[in-house]
Structure 1
């Protein structure tokens, strides 16, 4: 599935590696998705809330199923996140630059999870320009 179609068709997202640091992509991606009207859950076992929103320790802790999981984590951590996605029935993952490895892609393929490799910030900016 194309990045544009994923952004258009699915509105329930999780951002794994969300950050309270406004300079980090985990923060920027989370806020940009929310600003575009997506239902977004932050995941980071190291923080409990972000700008008043609850942050969850893992995918299994979310109050509802998400359609897409955006990765903003090291590929070594990404392996276990792919496993979590498979266990939770997530069919789409969005791999930010720097989160991709052969192991992550191979495991996603094995688990029948479709992986998009792109920057979601660029995709949302493109969407803004073409309204």
Structure 2
């Protein structure tokens, strides 16, 4: 008998049922920076999450896609983890892939993206993925700024704990 998958809410309109493309580069994935952390957290939440970086083939045994366009009709949300000037074609790629939601992480947001998303009918979400992570007791979560910023946010239990 198959178990029913529990669906958790991140923000109004974003749940663990969505499929995510985490947009980064080799440096942000290989050195375990924010793109890697966001991708791993989404996977730990039980989400379908795909890493996207032009300059990387594989990470932690998973295929890395070179562009969002390769994921056409597979994803519902893009999670950019690059500075705005590093992703000038974000909205074009989102539109081509049929994505109607972008979850902007800290420092990835710009006024230009806001205007572009409004014109294209793309829903915008802002805030760090890691704010929704439930940390194990007695960990160093108290040092993580995402823990403090997301203290009152809904939490998603990790599949590892």
More helix by share: 1
Which TM-score applies when normalising by structure 2? 0.72
1:58 to 67, 72, 82: 67
3-state DSSP of counterpart to 2:50: strand
Structure 1 unaligned runs (5+)? none
Q: Which residue does 1:17 correspond to in 2?
A: 24
Q: Which residue does 1:41 correspond to in 2?
A: 50
Structure 2 unaligned runs (5+)? 1-8, 135-153
Q: Residue deviations 1:66-98, cap 9 Å, x none? A: 011101011123331111001111000000000
Matched, 1:106 2:134: no
Backbone CA RMSD of aligned residues: 2.0
Distance change >3 Å, CA 16–CA 114, structure 1 → 2: same
Point out which structure has higher relative CO (alpha carbons under 8 A, 6+ apart): 1
Aligned pair count? 127
Distance change >3 Å, CA 113–CA 56, structure 1 → 2: same
2:125 to 93, 107, 116: 116
Matched, 1:83 2:92: yes
3-state DSSP of counterpart to 1:70: strand
